[in-house]
Chains A and B, each alone.
Chain A
Amino acid sequence: DGGITQSPKYLFRKEGQNVTLSCEQNLNHDAMYWYRQDPGQGLRLIYYSQIVNDFQKGDIAEGYSVSREKKESFPLTVTSAQKNPTAFYLCASSIGGKKGGELFFGEGSRLTVL
């Protein structure tokens, strides 16, 4: 089945550690996105990528890094510089460019910093 796979679903980390969240899609979509969601809040854009080897900062990119070496993969690294990393992280993809806003989301990764 086509879709977006995020892993791990749950992740615990100690303060000062970097962690990488995986996002893979087999929808052949050009654009991919990472959002962060805090309890009771909406989604905030961290990074997005319209094409391989290119990505742009969203509204809350500080403390995060991404790469887009392959069309189907867009991993997110939460670095030790991110002061409040405990959150629900959502990856999404879209065809890109033709119709705005039709996003396909993964099931999310919940990160807890101990």
Chain B
Amino acid sequence: LAKTTQPISMDSYEGQEVNITCSHNNIATNDYITWYQQFPSQGPRFIIQGYKTKVTNEVASLFIPADRKSSTLSLPRVSLSDTAVYYCLVGGPLHNTDKLIFGTGTRLQVFP
């Protein structure tokens, strides 16, 4: 199972773009990469998922290089409400176990 490594914390200011990178060196061929956001005392919620290249939705972009050994979550123009913990998760049908393991996450603090 692919282990993920993320920075423990990041700081930013409102209006800036934030990029959080996740390393997953032993990602398997069929693995997808998924990012979640968690606020205190709440369950994580899905942000974005991708397999390769670039994926964009209304809240974020996900950049995945050709070797897929890392991925970068990009949050454009963050606001105070983006202060949260962000997790990247790697998994997929190849494992056939659905044993989805979270890393320690990145704590993003946005300042006014």
Instruction: Please report the number of residue pairs spanning A and B whose Cβ atoms sit closer than 8 angstroms.
Output: 83
Q: Residues of B within 8 Å of A, CB-based: how many?
A: 30
Query: Is A104 in contact with B46, judged by CB distance below 8 angstroms?
Result: yes
Identify the A interface with B (CB < 8 A).
4, 31, 33, 35, 41-45, 48, 50, 56, 58-59, 88, 90, 92, 94, 96-108, 110
CB of B45 within 8 A of chain A? yes
Identify the B interface with A (CB < 8 A).
30-34, 36, 41-46, 49, 87, 89-93, 95-105
Bound: A50/B36 CA distance, A: 21
Query: Is B104 in contact with A99, judged by CB distance below 8 angstroms?
Result: no
Partner of B101, one of A45, A50, A97, A108: A45
Bound: A104/B95 CA distance, A: 20
Query: Is B100 in contact with A103, judged by CB distance below 8 angstroms?
Result: yes
Query: Is B98 in contact with A105, judged by CB distance below 8 angstroms?
Result: no
Q: Supply 15 A–B pairs (Cβ within 8 Å), ascending by A.
A: A42-B102, A42-B105, A43-B87, A92-B43, A97-B98, A98-B93, A100-B34, A100-B89, A101-B33, A101-B91, A102-B46, A102-B49, A103-B89, A107-B43, A108-B42
Partner of A99, one of B32, B42, B97, B101: B32
